[in-house]
Amino acid sequence: MNIEAASKKRNPPPMVEALPADGRMSWVVNRFEELVLSTILITMILLACTQIFLRTFFTSGLLWADPLLRYLVLWSGLLGAVAATGQGKHIALDIIGKNMPAVFAPWLALLCHIFSCLVAAGLTWAAVIFIRGEWEYSAAGPLSLPLWFWNSIFPLAFFCMAVKYLFLSLLQLRQNLSQSSKRRERER
């Protein structure tokens, strides 16, 4: 293997895997996500401990607590997925990328971001249709709130993921075009 190929292998082209955390807007969004997730987690822990205490010492519990805990787990899972998307810590399968030449990696990352954005947008649309059905056949959920309220996390979370993947796509495209122009200038 020649030296140029070895250096390209060690220093692959840069890829945008997470939203930049240095901007004011990113900081506000990240803090808000952390605050909401922390609040949900604390509520879940307190509610579960209260249920255990009541069942152990009073052989009864709060009837609404178990269904509420189920929805809070759902909310924390989906909001955690939104936060992971923006930080580049989401679940990803890299079947093709590890076998491709490094020069194609940023373009493959762009393609993956665009695909993920489209999938999240499609899931948002499906979730909106689901919520419309819940609205029409409204039934009461925990705390006497309608089920559409508790299930509204689906379109909200998928929409946020789609927006984050859109930003990742735009950042990756800008970086790819910048790298391409720099490469052309070096070749001149």
Q: What is the pLDDT of residue 73?
A: 96
97-148 pLDDT, tens digit per residue, is: 677 777 788 888 889 899 999 999 999 999 999 999 999 988 888 988 999 9
Burial of residue 85, with CB atoms counted within 10 A of its CB: 0-12 exposed, 13-18 middle, 19 or more buried: buried
> What is the residue extent of each domain of the chain?
21-90, 99-188
44-90 pLDDT, tens digit per residue, is: 999 999 999 999 999 898 999 999 999 999 999 999 999 998 887 77
Mean pLDDT of the chain: 85
Is the pTM above the cut of 0.85? Answer: no
79-110 pLDDT, tens digit per residue, is: 999 999 888 777 776 677 677 777 788 888 88
